[in-house]
Structure 1
Amino acid sequence: MRAAAVLQTGLRLIYPTTCLTCDALVDADHGLCGPCWRDTPFVSAPLCEGCGAPLKGDHTAAGELCDDCLRTERPWTAGRTAMLYAGNARKLVLALKHGDRVDIARPAATWMAAAAHDIVQPHTLVTAVPLHWQRRIRRRYNQSVLLARGVAKALDLGLCPDLLIRPAATPVLDGMSPDDRFSAMSRALTINDRKAELARHRPVLVVDDVMTSGATLAAATGALLRAGAAEVSVLTLARAVKDA
């Protein structure tokens, strides 16, 4: 252990730890410097019970819903998010999703776990929104699985990353209207029959990188409830809102 600590100290002298979004030096691995932390739109209470976005205006009581979740019924029990999809948060998500910055998954999962601590039970099973196998090969990893793995570890929960599958390729949802997104994702996800028993009569937490309309998470929730899950909650790294 002492030798490992000495080696780690030596490596830090040669390769100083820098902020995830800039070149500033930071004290801890996988962290943000002070200015970048302040510029990252982390979410704080009061929260929408449906998606975790901060409540505004008259919606400030615990358990209330934001305007978007009032307009669109959510099939899941509760939702949480770590930050709003804007500014530094958007940079982090895009770097993780498309920039091969898998190092972001570790701290991001820690932030997500902190956001979700009040909606999970000790026997909750964590899973991730799946990619179609063709997209998985092109990207080389599923960022949602990386996040789910970190969340499960941080919260000491069971993990089944391949509980859901995406049998057919679905179109890219960026630029679609909410109605088109829900239409495209309707029944697009299904349960992995080989793992279905793990979710039966058990609460499940579905992890994804970003929630926009909620169509993908709704498809995941529907598949899990049809497979016998006791209830489903959702957790994202970031929530896209119109005025963020």
Structure 2
Amino acid sequence: MAHDPEAVPVVMVFAGNDPAGGAGLAADTEAIASMGCHTAPVVTAITVQDTSNVQDFQAVGADWVVSQARAVLEDMPVACFKLGMLGSVENIEAVHTILRDYPDIPVVTDPVLFAGGGGDLAERDVPDALRSLIFPQTTLLTPNAPEARALAPAADTLDACAHQLMSDGCEFVLVTGADEPSEQVTNSLFGNERLLERFTWDRLPHTYHGSGCTLASAIAGLLAQASEPRSAVHEAQAYVQEALAHGYRIGMGQHVPNRLFWADGDDDE
């Protein structure tokens, strides 16, 4: 039986372009495809970066962001929104207006503030704009530890950061711990104003370019398939761990996750 293309869930992604292909829209597209979904990529920023760090970026004009999104939204059914690098307050305002018009579509927000190498990927006022405009519309927020601290600077622990981010409007918060100096990686999921679960993963020997994009996009793809958020978080983390374990060093900087590891042809079955 021929596959019905109308049955493929659509995830609309607002994110920046990474010319190295390790993070941003390239990572989003591969991860979402791996979850069996179609990606509708809306370009919010153009970056100058490699696998080591970001040299510069330029946000796309907010009117272009809106035009890209509305053209697709009028043409196909979107099952989930995934937000990555938005780049400017004007773009956050633009995305806010779009999300407001589609309140029943789940939103996964990866609050991209820094590149894996430490370079800035957002203007100074972006954290405040995210808190006031995007978080109240967010189903699941996926900050890493530095982002959580930057978004909730008054909190004295990562758990307190998560509670503050829920108070800002996020329904669920998954704080990832790969940046913490621990023997293993611990990710913590919060919801319903409490800690729901901690997940412990073996720490792999490398650092990775685009791991946060991969995780958030995998979750978005699963939510688009009507998974419950907690189940989506479980499954997406397992997928990302495999993608990282199969990663490769294609440049002179960080490793790149192999998000298409499942298609490498090594399986005899």
TM-score normalized with structure 1 length:
0.30
Greater per-residue strand proportion: 2
Scaled by the length of structure 2, the TM-score of the pair is 0.28
Larger radius of gyration between Structure 1 and Structure 2: 1
